[in-house]
Amino acid sequence: MVPPRRSACTGLENLVGCEMHNVLEIQPELQTLRVGDRVRLHASGFGPEVMLIEPERALVLGGPPNDKGSQATWSFYLLDGNEGTTRLLERGRGVAGRGVIEKLGFGPYLMDPVGFVMSKKMLKTIQRLSEQSFRDEPWARASQSANHRFVF
């Protein structure tokens, strides 16, 4: 097995203290999210709460505005596609509150380009891993019609 590579995104996240680690396989202990759970995005414990979860269909993260008025949501939806495909739709929305730090952290000037690059890498990684996982299933190898694609 090839050791996982550190991505530039992970390096940048860790530079600001996030202590992020790539996950390259499904880990059962990470599959038990419930509404109200916090998804840690920083070593300090900072991160959005699970606002909605519909197993195998939807995950929405977010929370109420902070004390400066900033608020963000991050959502993931699995949609049935044509010919047995699945589409992963990811959406993020932020509202910048009062102050320069809030405008940088939640505003479009920094968040949009950084978020775009990181989301694209994350979605491509999910696509690669899901397609590889599907091909590795014994029943998929034996099937003549194992034509699974994850489209975004």
* Domain CATH for 118: 3.30.530
Distance CA 27, CA 17 (A): 23
Q: Is residue 105 part of a domain?
A: yes
Amino acid at 4: P
Q: Is residue 150 part of a domain?
A: no
How far, in whole angstroms, is CA 82 from its chain's centroid? 23
- The token pair at 68 is 């400066």
Q: How far apart are the first and last CA of the chain?
A: 27
Q: Is residue 143 part of a domain?
A: no
Mean pLDDT, rounded, for 65-85: 90
Distance CA 42, CA 10 (A): 12
- The token pair at 72 is 């963000």
Structural domain harbouring 60: 8-20+32-133
Query: 81-93, pLDDT tens digit by residue?
Result: 888 888 999 998 8
Distance CA 24, CA 4 (A): 7
Q: Could you give the number of structural domains in the chain? A: 1
Q: Is residue 145 part of a domain?
A: no
Helix, strand, or coil here: 44? coil
Q: Is residue 146 part of a domain?
A: no
Q: Is residue 88 part of a domain?
A: yes
Angle subtended at Cα 116 by Cα 51 and Cα 80, rounded to the nearest 5 degrees = 60
pLDDT score for 137: 61
Q: Is residue 139 part of a domain?
A: no
Query: 103-136, pLDDT tens digit by residue?
Result: 887 777 777 888 888 888 888 888 888 887 666 6
Length of the chain: 152
Please tell me the pTM assigned to this model: 0.70
Q: Is residue 27 part of a domain?
A: no
